[in-house]
Amino acid sequence: MSHPRVACVLLLLTLACGDGLAPPTQEDPVASATEIRAAGSLITPAKVLSWLSVITDDSLGGRNTPSLGLERTAQYLADNYRAWGMLPAGESNGWFQRYPLQATQTNAPNVIAMARGSDPVLRDEYVIFSSHMDHLGTVGDGIGGCSPFTRPDGTIDRICNGADDNGSGTVAVLAIAQAVAALNGRTRRSIVVLNVSGEEKGLLGSAYYADHPTVPLANVVADINLDMISRNSADSIVVIGKDSSDMGATLTRVQAAHPELHLIAADDIWPAQHFYNRSDHYNFARKGVPILFFFAGTNPQYHRADDEVSLVNAGKLVSVAQLAFYLGVEIANTVARPRSIHLHRLAIVAGQSPLPAR
């Protein structure tokens, strides 16, 4: 019979060494709240401004659909996604989806990347972050397009660089992708980033994507769309579609959990302008996918050549991107998928065909 005290000391020594008593701790398949905040803090004003300065450079010619500047923008986004270890989620295992343009007998790109989720079942469901990367090109690229701007020195700017429309949403999705990549696949659902083109020509790229999705659309639980998010009041962002699904309530909760963003997620304050139907989320909504649309409103430089980086509020852009990121991660990790709660009243008021409820 062994002495109980000796046995105890032996046991303590074994515990202290830790050999063979407990299996090696496995990384949790879902990132902790602290880790999610750390990933969100990767989104900074300096980064979004540096990316914005690239895609709004005059050499890209205003990112018209189609154009070489648009192609270079698409490649730039894909190169970043690749560098961060995201997976290509376009056609043929690539980063792009190309869709035909009837008017010019040519085609244009969407960019699609993914971070695969960790749950054996829910990883086959998807949260999409979308934004349009195209803009209006230069004066003369299409009727009703880019308006010239006469500078104070009398020279004329003929390139619509689209810093707010939609350079702001484009770099927000880029920043969100980097934050998502930092989670290393530790969300339950998979997260997709989608940069569409042809928005300014009539939501062409998102319409094609919704009709030819590269992940099963029935498994897309939400589209979070960002278009023109860097102007107007610094402490608020309009979020359209809050009353169309229970994601509105989720957003309210996520916003309350992040007072450090100093950002109010406001209701649609311009219902008469039917913005619900005027950006890329609409092509998901018409397929029955729950959507939220982050939008700061128009401004005097809307569709003019002086929509430039100097007018962008980078702090607001970052806060909006962080709020959207926290929201998307929350949706990706919540086992119950978002539910449409009724037909969106604006769709009814606007006389649109009823949206299928989900």
Q: 237: buried, middle or exposed (CB in 10 Å: 19+, 13-18, 0-12)?
A: buried
- Supply φ then ψ for residue 353, to 5 degrees: -65, 145
Number of residues that bind Zn ion (CB under 5 A): 1
Is 134 a residue that touches Zn ion (CB under 5 A)? Answer: no
Q: How far is CA 270 from CA 273, 274, 321, in A?
A: 6, 7, 22
Which range touches Zn ion (CB under 5 A), out of 60-68, 161-169, 230-238, 308-316? 161-169
Minimum distance from CB of 22 to Zn ion (Å)?
57
Q: Which residues contact 204 (CB under 8 A, 6 or more apart)?
A: 65, 99, 101, 108, 197, 198
Minimum distance from CB of 169 to Zn ion (Å)?
10
The whole-angstrom separation of Cα 190 and Cα 195 is 17
Minimal CA–CA distance to 167: which of 133, 193, 143?
A: 133
Minimum distance from CB of 200 to Zn ion (Å)?
5
In the complex with Zn ion, the residue whose CB is nearer, 165 or 330, is 165
Return the residue of 134, 157, 165, 268 that touches Zn ion, per CB under 5 A. Answer: 165
Residue number with the shortest CB distance to Zn ion?
165
Which range touches Zn ion (CB under 5 A), out of 29-37, 139-147, 158-166, 210-218? 158-166
Minimum distance from CB of 316 to Zn ion (Å)?
18
Which range touches Zn ion (CB under 5 A), out of 51-59, 164-172, 255-263, 319-327? 164-172
The whole-angstrom separation of Cα 241 and Cα 265 is 11
Minimum distance from CB of 131 to Zn ion (Å)?
12
First to last CA, the chain: 69
In the complex with Zn ion, the residue whose CB is nearer, 182 or 194, is 194
In the complex with Zn ion, the residue whose CB is nearer, 67 or 255, is 67
Which range touches Zn ion (CB under 5 A), out of 165-173, 184-192, 209-217, 344-352? 165-173
In the complex with Zn ion, the residue whose CB is nearer, 171 or 261, is 171
The whole-angstrom separation of Cα 205 and Cα 282 is 12
Which range touches Zn ion (CB under 5 A), out of 101-109, 162-170, 214-222, 232-240? 162-170
In the complex with Zn ion, the residue whose CB is nearer, 67 or 187, is 67
In the complex with Zn ion, the residue whose CB is nearer, 65 or 178, is 65
Minimum distance from CB of 106 to Zn ion (Å)?
21
In the complex with Zn ion, the residue whose CB is nearer, 168 or 236, is 168
In the complex with Zn ion, the residue whose CB is nearer, 39 or 320, is 320
Minimum distance from CB of 352 to Zn ion (Å)?
20
Q: What is the 3-state secondary structure (H, E, C) of 31-100?
A: CCHHHHHHHHCCCCHHHHHHHHHHHCCHHHCCCCCCCHHHHHHHHHHHHHHHHCCCEECCHHHCCEEEEE
**Six token digits for residue 43:** 């989104």
CB < 8 Å & 24+ apart, contacts of 22-30: 27/186, 28/186, 29/118, 29/119, 29/186, 29/188, 30/118, 30/186, 30/187, 30/188, 30/333
Which residues would be at the binding site for Zn ion (CB under 5 A)? 165
